[in-house]
């Protein structure tokens, strides 16, 4: 498939899986994204993190703790920390 070939060519260290469709499409994981968002999952030597789809965030605008936008902010901080780790090593 085209997408898988593009991923292999670009060889990213991190892949953000935005929404349940991306999660199921790449990893064939059937767990709800709300249960595994924010967790690193290894796939073909790359780190993947499922995150909420932007449209879901638009439908849930609150930024209060334990809301989708709050979780997304936590996830982005985790991704930034991992990217910083990669930069420090290279």
Read off the pLDDT of residues 54-77 as tens digits, 9 standing for 90 and up. Answer: 999 999 999 999 999 999 999 999
Q: Would you say the C-alpha torsion 50, 47, 10, 30 has a positive or negative sign? A: negative
Q: Which pLDDT does position 1 carry in this prediction?
A: 84
CATH of the domain at 69: 3.40.470.10
Look up the domain containing 85 and give its range: 2-89
Task: Give me the percent of the chain exceeding a pLDDT of 70.
Answer: 100
Q: Compute CA distances 30 → 36, 48, 54, 62, 87, whole Å.
A: 10, 15, 20, 27, 33
Q: Tell me the whole-structure pTM to 2 decimals.
A: 0.91
8 Å CB contact between 87 and 24 = no
Q: Which pLDDT does position 5 carry in this prediction?
A: 96
What's the mean pLDDT in 76-88? 97
Distance CA 80, CA 1 (A): 29
Please give the tally of structural domains in the chain: 1
Q: Which pLDDT does position 81 carry in this prediction?
A: 98
Please determine, for residue 16, whether its predicted confidence score (pLDDT) is greater than 90: yes
pLDDT band, residue 90 (cuts 50/70/90): confident
* Chain length of the chain: 90
């Amino acid at each position: 498939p085209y997408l898988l070939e593009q991923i292999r060519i670009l060889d990213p260290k991190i892949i953000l899986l935005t929404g349940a469709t991306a999660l199921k499409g790449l990893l064939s994981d059937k767990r709800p994204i709300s249960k595994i968002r924010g967790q690193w999952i290894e796939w073909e030597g790359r780190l993947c993190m499922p995150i909420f789809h932007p449209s879901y965030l638009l439908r849930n605008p609150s930024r209060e703790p334990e809301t989708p936008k709050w979780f997304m902010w936590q996830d982005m901080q985790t991704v930034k920390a991992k990217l910083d780790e990669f930069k420090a090593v290279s």
